Chains A and B, each alone.
Chain A
Amino acid sequence: MIDVAMAIMDPDNLFLRYAFIMGGLAAISFGIIGTFVTIKRIGYLAGAISHSVFGGIGLALFLQVNAGLTWFDPILGAVLAAITAAVIVGLVSLHAKEREDTIIGTLWAVGMASGILLIDMTPGYFNLSSYLFGDILLISGKDLLFVGCLDAIVLGLSILFFNQFFSVCFDNEFTALRGINTTFFYLLLLILTALTVVLLVRVVGIVLVIALLTIPPAIASFYAKRLWQMMLFSILLCAAFTWAGLGISYAFSLSSGPAIIVLSGAVYLVLIVIHKVLKS
């Protein structure tokens, strides 16, 4: 661990310092949105959104190379795809009661597949695994600014509408009876989830998103009595997992995303066992 600390201080290792800052900034959104996703039990929807992001990245790369739209950054494609998917997934889950899981599963797979087809049709080599499994070590200063902005949006709206989100998650029907536009807040929550997923793609990649979004809140729920406590604890856990995972990946030359996920998954499993033993 001292080696890692030394490496962060080394001015030649700017990328590592960026990675650690990124981990801390991203943890804010992950902790808050992950808590909402966990208590509202929409991890499956978050999964569909995250996989559709790949379609957006593919479309952006395709347009950049084939149509000469150089301003169409993959991250822009990711944001657009994530928001579109969030709205579709949200409306489907509200209105298509019986076929909900089929439709969402289809969106999940088609989003991902269309991304790969678009990349197939784009000349050049693209490192797909950095999108799939994340590569926090490739973060630039611009990315940090971008994440900071998204953080501000997620944090600001979550604080402003905390009570609305709380109520929509706890008892949607009662909330509607109080005159609150529950569809609006549900879709807003899904859009914030989508933005957070885009952040996560840079850190742990599309495939591993759901784990980092739901494991810290799942652990936090063992100890939290109130929603805001669960969020705060999730943020701290998420930052701790990201930093520790980064340290491990740097020290042993492993992929950063999987290192973060395996570490948090292991901690979660151990805690589940401890809690089972304590209860019995």
Chain B
Amino acid sequence: MKAHDDPEILIDNVSFAYKQRKILDDVNLRIRKKEFASIVGPNGGGKTTLLKLILGLIKPDKGQIRIFGKAPDQARHRMGYMPQYAHLDMDFPATVMDVVLMGRLSKTTLWFSKKDRKEALTAIDEVGMTAYIKTEFNELSGGQKQRILIARALCSYPDILLLDEPTANVDQQTEENLFSILQKLNSKMIILLVSHDLGFVSKYVKNVICVNRRVVIHPTTLINGSLIKDIYNGDQKMVRHDQLCNERGHIYD
């Protein structure tokens, strides 16, 4: 069982290899309540692997993972997951409502009840997509699809929300909208999101988890440099990888 001040997500000495190649090596991570963190790192550095380990989709070769004091697959019902929409079939006939209702599935569900539909509607409303309930999922833009997949993750009332590249292929305006939705949700749940783009660690994120075979967590700190400001056109926070990551052997481009 989880003791009072144990972290909600505990990763202890975890290693994971795929075909003899070490993806993650001796990873230690503690995530506590109200965390809002971005998981960044180079491609192939192990970001998605870390997410899948937390979700219990894969098992570590070494070490242990505890979510709310339980094995990850025992805690799945408390986690909401938003995959990249690019993995989904673009010809699949389904409305927005059909997709969001998937989040209400459980071991005992056969047909969806009135309550399931009500919860799905609430979740769709939360991401501001109520006008699109009957629209075909595949007719939506990339940013709208991301919002619907967030709604699908939300309608089971998760305590942890995990998002895989929520800002891939969306423009800056859409990205800001997504982050303001996430920030609102953060009062109710832990949010961890994968991003391959280190430069754009948004001003909303409290911590940055750097993953490159090893894992290091840093708080975001304000950067005054005008370069970043010019590129992104607003106040941005930037992780000071120049100081923190290089010491530990992290190299980013």
Contact = CB atoms under 8 A, between A and B. Distances in A.
Contacts of A163: 101-102, 105, 109-112
Interface stretch (A83-91, A136-144, A166-174, A247-255): A166-174
Nearest to A176: B57
Interface residues of A, number: 27
Instruction: Give the interface size class of chain B.
Output: 20 to 34
A226 interface: yes
Given A39-B89, A163-B112, A174 B94 contact: no
B77 A225 contact: no
Interface in A123-171: 160-164, 166-167, 169-171
A174 B81 contact: yes
A171 B88 contact: yes
Nearest to A41: B89
Interface stretch (A13-21, A106-114, A177-185, A266-274): A177-185
Nearest to B134: A225
Contacts of B91: 39, 221
Given A163-B112, A164-B105, A170 B94 contact: yes
Given A163-B110, A221-B91, A227 B98 contact: yes
B106 A39 contact: no
A104 interface: no
A175 B103 CA distance: 8
A177 B92 contact: no
Contacts of B87: 171
B106 A174 contact: no
Contacts of B126: none
B21 interface: no
A174 B102 contact: yes
B107 A225 contact: no
Nearest to B156: A178
B93 A171 contact: no
B110 A175 contact: no
A221 B138 CA distance: 13
B136 interface: yes
A223 B93 CA distance: 9
A179 B93 contact: no
A230 B138 CA distance: 15
Interface string B75-102: 0110101010001110111110011011
Contacts of A39: 89, 91-93
Nearest to B76: A177
Given A41-B89, A178-B106, A170 B76 contact: no
A173 B102 contact: no
Interface of B: 55, 57, 76-77, 79, 81, 83, 87-89, 91-95, 98-99, 101-103, 105-107, 109-112, 136, 152, 156
Interface of A: 39, 41, 160-164, 166-167, 169-171, 173-180, 221, 224-227, 229-230
Given A39-B92, A167-B105, 7 more contacts: A39-B89, A174-B83, A177-B57, A178-B76, A178-B156, A226-B98, A230-B93
6 closest residue pairs by CB, A with B:
A178-B105, A179-B107, A224-B93, A230-B93, A167-B102, A225-B136
17 contacts: A39-B91, A41-B89, A163-B110, A166-B102, A170-B99, A170-B102, A171-B83, A171-B88, A174-B83, A177-B55, A178-B76, A180-B105, A221-B91, A221-B93, A225-B95, A226-B93, A229-B93
